[in-house]
Structure 1
């Protein structure tokens, strides 16, 4: 049985995050705060030996990965960043770049909700993703099934491309990690957050038979207390 330990990092804060705009397949640069926070994440991960570095193919994730790689002192300095579109953020279609409160009201209203937070708490992230796809007139928004399909493809990429026992870093996105947690984390692990914070780290044991979340959305300030997790 092949087994990998994978650390999924949410990218740093971007201008869209700061302005509370929907940010899926669209992109925005990291803010100064985002870069500063990522340096904390990088410090917490710098002594971990990674056998490979991956990110989604969106620039905010690639820039985040580069900051972490530059700080790392335990891995082969010749390792190159690999990108995989399977790890990109959930696609929001026509709602990309729009204020998230406006989108929350439009998507949630038919179900009796006027914001994403209440909708997620009461109905779950999968129904919210499905409702967003229904409300999107462009046809580009992703349903929960769409996201889980490419998530599985991304996991398969990691298993095929890396040797058993490897430790892998993957920089991805908040919505992607939240859905990973919905499918594989325990209720206790999910209880602390609706959306993983920028720069947080989620550790997963990935095998060709199962996926197990070891640690969900650990804040970057906590990393140096237990670097082995």
Structure 2
């Protein structure tokens, strides 16, 4: 059997500030660091077949915290990067709502119609995520594959395997920092095992007094 674990990067400073990140980056918060380490504790007994990450610094840092800073056997894949939101990046959603009310509405309520003067639309994100997932499924017959990525990318994974229309994108379970969305393939059947799972946060971290 093959297991794919799609993990959103840990909480960042811009997440807390409510700023859109997209292709831009901000550092992990203390909570983000702790959450990633807890996920590493949960996963420490898994013998990973492969590990993939988005090229974003916040994703790579999350990988280091989960697998250990000396861990080097991973693949950086640009298809895992967050949705490009162009000149909206660095702004809060309230600012975007005020400046671009139509785009804001489409982003949250009709993703199929979302278009901005810069950046990607949701279908472009879906195309690259779908291509990557097909490649993973054809490359690995069995084992455990860890994939560190971003919120919209995980949303696309949910959309693809639930076979939902684009306008149902935000109706799937919420994806928080370090949450795990896992798939299992047995033969030709693919099953969603978890969506946005945060059960690792209930683990006691031995480094905390």
1:201 aligned partner? 180
Structure 2: stretches of 5+ with no match in the other structure = 165-169, 204-209
CA distance in 1, matches of 2:81, 2:71: 24
CA distance in 2 between counterparts of 1:211 and 1:16 reads 35
Supply the RMSD in Å over aligned alpha carbons. 3.1
What TM-score, normalized by structure 1, do the two folds share? 0.74
Q: CA deviation at 1:213?
A: 2.2
1:168 aligns with 2:140: no
Match of 1:14 in 2: 12
**Alignment match, 2:127:** 149
Kept after mapping to 1: 8 A contact 2:97/2:104: no
Q: What per-residue deviation string (whole Å, max 9, x for no partner) do you get for residues 8-54 of structure 1?
A: 11100111111110011111111111101111111121122211111
For residues 34 and 47 of structure 1, do their structure 2 counterparts lie closer, same or farther at Cα, with a shift above 3 Å needed? same
1: distance between equivalents of 2:191 and 2:155? 14
Deviation at 1:174, TM superposition (A): 1.0
1:38 is aligned to 36
Shift of 1:110: 3.1
Give TM-score, length-normalised by structure 2: 0.80
3-state DSSP class of the match of 1:51?
Answer: strand
1 CA distance for matches of 2:98 and 2:133? 33
- For 1:218 and 1:16, the matched residues in 2 are separated by 22
Aligned ranges 1:92-171 → 2 under 5 Å: 92-107=85-100, 109-110=101-102, 113=105, 120=108, 123=109, 126-127=111-112, 130-131=113-114, 134=115, 136-137=116-117, 139=118, 141-160=119-138, 162-171=139-148
The separation in 1 between residues aligned to 2:20 and 2:144, in whole angstroms, is 32
Structure 2 residue 171 is the aligned partner of structure 1 residue 181: no
Gaps of at least 5 residues in structure 1 are 72-76, 225-229
